[in-house]
Structure 1
């Protein structure tokens, strides 16, 4: 339901950013079914493959500087539109596409709407070369620092990096944490989306609620 509501924002002629995850996949299928004359960029190889399979023209984001609209999911989103993302391992590409977008819309079910994103694990994308160094650097800030496992070894992203999931942050000053993570050599990206989200469609109890950032910030 949330995906269907958000897809109504897609208009012919747009360049649309396609997120990653089960809810974003539903939006991709709906966009394909609508047969709109759009082009898209994808935040993961899986989303790109799905988009092509439903007839969406997918462009190489390396050749793109600006996106009209991005639709993506979230692991958690609070009333200030701060979101946690990365359960699907695509947070770095998702953040780059979001930064290039005129508008970013999050779609989620009611369980993802939270008072604080502190309850969600923070994924950190890390160069494999720097794994042990980054793990050691993260431990003073988080109670739990665990490299994500995949099939037959450590999970790797489409960028060839590993993911370290962090839980129990010592602070809820998310701007400070985001800035600090950006200063750690070897950290390629993280799942804190503090300023990127412009709107959210939340489905709960058979009702979809649209929230706009401008209504909160004035």
Structure 2
């Protein structure tokens, strides 16, 4: 097991410990969340009662794999807790997400939760956002025109592909990955991108992380605010 995989396993297991009996949770997407789902599945097998609302088709598959009971929006629009991963986390706990293409569903689910807990290995902790390409989800109709407007903010962008074909999100949209470099004002950029007709959502998650589980000097810690931050 690589050091990164070991860290993913540790933070995933720690996150599972935050799930209490009777909770309705948001189930995130990604390889770190997979470790969380595996640990949660073990707790469910031992008697923990929990319901999960998925953030992607991939997280539906995770739930089935680890016997996590699923619900949908017809059951409830309120979640006790959302647990998800991140592609980058800055010292102010703003994040870039969407490397797996689930940013829209992830943001909708997170916005419905009373508490949002994110998990990340050390490689995801950065001094400033922007090294990781920012995913921007756009509707397929007129996506070429939308891309031109995106290029006014970020000339270095490309429509995401998978297997030589355009990548299509679970909502049927395209994603443009935008290489901004350093992003000094994530909130302003999020607002500017959201004002472009055709943009559905972007992968900037600003002010959404209530807590973060990560490793500091090899020890799992929970960051509950900027005063707990040590990187950057």
Range of TM-score over shorter length: over 0.9
Structure 1's consecutive aligned runs of 4 or more residues displaced over 6 angstroms after TM superposition are none
Report the CA distance between 1:119 and its aligned residue: 1.6
Report the CA distance between 1:204 and its aligned residue: 5.3
2:132 to 120, 127, 136: 120
What's 1:168 paired with? 180
Residues 1:17 and 2:29 are matched in the alignment: no
**1:177 match: secondary structure:** helix
**1:132 match: secondary structure:** helix
Coordinate RMSD, CA, aligned: 1.8
Q: TM-score, normalised by structure 2?
A: 0.88
What's 1:185 paired with? 197
Matched residue count? 217
Greater strand content = 1
- Give 1:98-113 correspondences, 5 Å limit: 98-113=110-125
User: Which shifted more, 87-96 or 55-64?
Assistant: 55-64
1:40 to 45, 49, 52: 52
Q: TM-score, normalised by structure 1?
A: 0.94
Report the CA distance between 1:169 and its aligned residue: 5.3
Distance 1:133 1:4, change over 3 A: same
Aligned counterparts of 1:215 and 1:125: Cα–Cα separation in 2: 32
Distance 1:13 1:111, change over 3 A: same
Report the CA distance between 1:152 and its aligned residue: 4.1
Gaps of 5+ in 1: none
1:148 to 143, 160, 164: 160
